[in-house]
Amino acid sequence: MATDSQESSHSDAAAISIQGVEVRYGELLALQKVNLHIQPREFICLLGPSGCGKTTLLNVIAGFVHPTNGRALTYGRAIEEPGPDRGMVFQEYGLFPWLTVRKNIQYGPKLKGSCSTELDEIANKYSKMVGLERFCDSYPGQLSGGMRQRAAIARALANQPNILLMDEPFGALDAMTRQSLQEELLQIWELERKTLVFVTHSIAEAVFLADKIIVMSAHPGRIEHIVDNTIARPRNRTADAHFQMCRHIELLFQGAGKCGNTRPGE
C-alpha cells in the first residue's frame, strides 16, 4: 500500500484502531485488509468512489457490521456493538419526524435517564450550537434540508460521544448550504474536540475538512493512500494550497485508474 505518511503507531491510545479488517457480504469482499489508526480529536475523511467500502468501514467503527477477519478497537477495547461513545449522522438526517427538534436532541439523554433540568440544558446548549435555538419546537418536516442536518448533528452531540461518525452528511444539500455546514462543523469540532470520521465523495470537501484523507478504491474496497492534509487552519477554499491539495488527490485517483466521480470543486 502506498502512503503519503507513515501510519500512526499501533497504540491502545488510538481513538480508533482498525487492524487487518476484512468484511465479506457473501461472495463480495467489501473491505480488504484495512489498517487504520486514528488519534483522539483527529478529523478523518474517508474518500473514494461508490462501492469502495466507506460506509462499511464506518459501520465497522459504529459496531453495526462485524469484520469477517481482523479487529476494530476504540481506546484499546474491541468494538462489538453500537454504543453511546460513538455518535452517527447519516445523509438522510435520521431524525424522528414525529418529535420536535428539542425532543429529537433530548432523545438519547432521556433514554440514559437525564432529569428534566438536564434535558432542558442539553436542548438549549446543542440547539444553540447548531443555530437552531429558535426552531426547538419545530418538527423536522418544517425545516430545510440544512436545518434538518444541523438538528441531526445536535442530536448526535447531545449523547456526548467521544467519536462522531458522519456518512455523507452533506451529500444531499445544495452547494451553498453544504459549504456553510462544512464551516459550522469545523467550528463545532474545534469547540468539542471530538474524533471525527467523515465519509465523502468530494475531494474538495475532504481537503477543506480533514487532518487526514483516507483515499480508498473499490473491488475490493481498500485503502490506497493516507494523505496528511497539512494546510493550516482556518482554511481558505480559494487558496493555492487548497487547489494543489485537491490536484494531488485527484492525481492519486487517476494513478489508481479509479477516479470515479470525484473531482476538485465538486
Ligand X SMILES: Nc1ncnc2c1ncn2[C@@H]1O[C@H](COP(=O)(O)OP(=O)(O)OP(=O)(O)O)[C@@H](O)[C@H]1O
Give the interface with ligand X as residue ranges (CB under 6 A). 25, 28, 30, 48, 50-56, 221
Q: How far is the CB of 169 from ligand X (least distance, A)?
A: 13
Q: Is 209 within 8 Å of 178 (Cβ atoms)?
A: no
Q: How far is the CB of 64 from ligand X (least distance, A)?
A: 10
Q: How far is the CB of 103 from ligand X (least distance, A)?
A: 30
Q: Which is nearer to ligand X, 42 or 167 (CB)?
A: 167
> How far apart (Å, rounded) are the C-alpha atoms in residues 152 and 120?
17
Q: Which is nearer to ligand X, 121 or 266 (CB)?
A: 266
Cα within 13 Å of Cα(100), Cβ side: 11
Q: Which is nearer to ligand X, 159 or 200 (CB)?
A: 200
Q: Which is nearer to ligand X, 51 or 264 (CB)?
A: 51
Phi/psi for 26 (5° steps) reads: 60, -120
Q: Is 204 within 8 Å of 229 (Cβ atoms)?
A: no
Q: How far is the CB of 134 from ligand X (least distance, A)?
A: 34
> How far apart (Å, rounded) are the C-alpha atoms in residues 84 and 62?
10
> How far apart (Å, rounded) are the C-alpha atoms in residues 200 and 171?
8
88 forms beta bridges with 165
Q: Which is nearer to ligand X, 108 or 221 (CB)?
A: 221
Q: How far is the CB of 56 from ligand X (least distance, A)?
A: 3
Cα within 13 Å of Cα(157), Cβ side: 23
72 forms beta bridges with 18
Strands 86-89, 69-74: pairing kind = unpaired
Q: How far is the CB of 49 from ligand X (least distance, A)?
A: 7
Q: Which is nearer to ligand X, 52 or 165 (CB)?
A: 52
Q: Is 199 within 8 Å of 55 (Cβ atoms)?
A: yes
Q: Which is nearer to ligand X, 158 or 199 (CB)?
A: 199
Q: How far is the CB of 187 from ligand X (least distance, A)?
A: 26
3-state secondary structure 1-61: CCCCCCCCCCCCCCCEEEEEEEEEECCEEEEEEEEEEECCCCEEEEECCCCCCHHHHHHHH
> How far apart (Å, rounded) are the C-alpha atoms in residues 72 and 8?
15
